[in-house]
Amino acid sequence: MNWLKKLFNEKKEQSKHKLLIIEDNASLLNVALGISEERSEELLNKCNELYKNNDCLSIALQKLVDFCNHTNEIVFSTLIMQKIIERTEAKNNFINDIKKLFDNE
């Protein structure tokens, strides 16, 4: 039973992540998290690529986490991925609504 306790404690230690706010008064999230403009563009491009190329969101997110170097990048990328999903769903809903209008004629 001691090995189980030891394993649990090791996992507990490994899962500690810290979000670091670099600039409290920043108006942009990437600046507040200390992510450069270039890196934020890389993360955005990676989010788009993974969303388009993976049918399963959990796989895309795992690959995204593997691409990130810091907890701040994970937070930033996850929020970007959510925005991509929301916009894609809104676009699809809009297209479907337009199709319904023309199908009823």
Angle in degrees, 0-180, between the axes of helices 71-103 and 57-67, rounded to the nearest 10 = 150
**Number of domains making up the chain:** 1
> With a threshold of 0.75, does the pTM exceed it?
no
Q: Which amino acid is at 68?
A: C
The per-residue pLDDT for range 25-83, each reduced to its tens digit, is: 888 999 999 999 999 999 999 999 999 999 899 999 999 999 999 999 999 999 999 99
Q: Are the C-beta atoms of 63 and 50 separated by less than 8 Å?
A: yes
CA distance 93 to 98: 9
The per-residue pLDDT for range 68-85, each reduced to its tens digit, is: 999 999 999 999 999 999
98 pLDDT higher than 90: no
**Domain of residue 13, residue span:** 2-103
CA distance 93 to 3: 52
CA 57 → CA 4, 46, 60, 87, distances in Å? Answer: 32, 14, 5, 15
